[in-house]
């Protein structure tokens, strides 16, 4: 049977998970609020909400890039350890 060592998530991974759920929740909240507005006020408010949600998405993608870089470093370290054992 194969063994698996559980690695506790680091603080960055936990923060990204919380940020991911916050972004999804905030996006749905913005969608619901945009539907509640009267028709005359939707265009300027929708522009503001869209810009805010895109801004949050860009921050989220930046955090994902940082996490992927940390993961890539760990993979390189594991590859070096495995190549030394051979």
Model pLDDT for residues 24-54, shown as the tens digit of each residue: 788 777 777 766 766 666 677 777 777 787 8
The model's pLDDT over 52-79, given as tens digits with 9 standing for 90+, comes to 878 788 888 888 888 888 888 888 888 8
Looking at the chain, which runs of residues are DSSP E strands?
A: none
Q: How far is 16 from 20, CA to CA, in rounded Å?
A: 6
Q: Classify residue 3: in a domain, yes or no.
A: no
* Closest C-alpha among 6, 28, 27, 11 to residue 63: 11
The structural domain count of the chain equals 1
Q: Is 52 helix (H, G, I), strand (E, B) or coil?
A: helix
Q: Classify residue 2: in a domain, yes or no.
A: no
The domain in which residue 55 lies consists of: 11-85
Taking all residues of the chain, what is their mean pLDDT, rounded to a whole number? 77
Q: Classify residue 6: in a domain, yes or no.
A: no
What pLDDT does residue 77 have?
Answer: 87
């Amino acid at each position: 049977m194969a063994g698996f060592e559980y690695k506790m998530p680091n603080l960055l991974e936990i923060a990204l998970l919380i940020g991911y759920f916050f972004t999804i929740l905030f996006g749905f909240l913005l969608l619901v609020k945009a539907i509640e507005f009267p028709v005359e006020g939707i265009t300027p408010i929708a522009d503001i909400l869209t810009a805010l949600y895109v801004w949050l998405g860009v921050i989220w993608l930046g955090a994902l890039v940082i996490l992927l870089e940390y993961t890539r470093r760990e993979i390189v370290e594991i590859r070096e350890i495995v190549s030394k054992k051979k």
